[in-house]
Chain A
Amino acid sequence: MKKTRAGLARSAPLLFVSALLIGASLALVSCTPGDEITVAESDVALTIYDPNVDFGAIGTYELEDTVYHILSEDDDDDISREYDQDILDLIAANLDARGFERVYGGPRDVVVVVSATVVQNWYAYSYYPWYGYGWYYPYYPYWGVSYAYTTGTLIVDMADPNKPNEENKTYPNYWRGVVNGVLDDTESSKVRRFTDSINQLFIQSPYLQSSGQ
């Protein structure tokens, strides 16, 4: 049926309301709050373990007294060592609190190795809600705000030096804790953040408990 002029006039309010509805939806979308995370909110604590290992049977550990820096071949080592000792002490305190006995040389059940790496990344966010509030490396946003940030990653490994794999020249890794976060922060905040995150590694690993035998 052909639309009459009167019919078009009657449906004009509806089209107008529809246009308003679409406009309102767009307004809602574009007003989605920019909830971009702060540097402190970027912290992540990840733990992975071998579920076949009886951690209760582990009695002694050796903690290497250095933090290894993981670098690519072309990188200069500019990772700060300012907090190395604090980090090592904190890890030792957590292991001691779980009943593991620290030894310095000689027989030990596991070796705990701490490593750190720093990566320059691009972080960007837009207000386009399809992708939420953030974008992520390696994609570059079509619009929005972007800035360079530096992430620091601390890796704590608990490996068994008594069971080397001669073929692969490796030791079985029983537990790995990873702390990751944006480094651009005040010094006091950094200390609080890495303290909380390292403690979190142990909080979320209740199976890390020596039976003391």
Chain B
Amino acid sequence: MKYILTTILVLLVASSAFGQNKVTALHYNISIPGSQMTDYIGEVSWLGIGFDGRWFVSPDRPLTLGISLGWQVFDDHMYGTIESESGALTGNQSRYVNSFPMMVTGHYYFGNKDKMWVFAGVGVGTYYIIQRFDVGVFAFEVDDWHFGFYPELGVQIPLRERDASLFISGRYNFALAAGESVTGDEKDFNYWGINVGFAYNGW
């Protein structure tokens, strides 16, 4: 985590030092499990943070290429029975997923950047996902790199300081299945992401 935060800070500061034709955003993330991930964790995650750096490919085209990094922590706790083909296990369970998306992104901006700048885009890359399953005093952990992508739609609303803006976006993260999960099956870890933060932009 220390390295991720350091990386985010370095990128934030570095991107502030170079040119105006870019967007740098730091946002708080809320995520909602979707698809097969809900079999493992159903609770909304309120612990998430993300960084986006976007660079315009040319001064006269509202198209950016960039990177996106994030960290989302999901957890769920329950008492219950897990059944398999040849047995069952009952106890208090704690389930965790830590997702670290690391993406290359492309976005298209439209609208008036001085009023409301709307953007749509995609991210493609990898989700490093750590799953942990605790039952009783036993714990099981699996980590995998999941190929994935996300479509994203969002807005940047300028604040009084025109180069700064409120950043709001929604993503659907497709973290495709990669090997056996901690519960023994193969599953994707898709989730919705709602991101709210601040962006610094210029031209």
Contact = CB atoms under 8 A, between A and B. Distances in A.
A: contact size bracket: 35 or more
A55 interface: no
Contacts of B139: 134-136
**Interface SS of chain A: helix, strand, loop or mixed?**
mixed
Interface in A121-171: 121, 123, 129-137, 149, 151
B26 A11 contact: no
Contacts of A112: none
A192 interface: no
Contacts of A211: none
A42 B137 CA distance: 6
A42 B90 CA distance: 11
Interface in A12-32: 13-15, 17-18, 21-22, 24-25, 28-29, 32
A181 B136 contact: yes
A50 B87 CA distance: 9
Which of B26, B136, B164 has the most chain A CB atoms closer than 10 A to its own CB? B136
A18 B198 contact: yes
B191 interface: no
Most-contacted residue by chain B among A17, A18, A29, A46 (CB, 10 A): A18
Contacts of A1: 18-20
B98 A47 contact: no
Interface in B23-60: 26-28, 46-47, 49
Contacts of B134: 132-134, 136
B interface, size bucket: 35 or more
B185 interface: no
A204 B163 CA distance: 62
B142 to A, nearest CB: 13
B156 to A, nearest CB: 13
A106 interface: no
3 tightest A-B contacts by CB? A44-B136, A136-B139, A44-B91
13 contacts: A3-B17, A10-B161, A11-B164, A22-B9, A32-B47, A35-B77, A44-B136, A47-B88, A50-B86, A130-B130, A136-B139, A180-B138, A182-B137
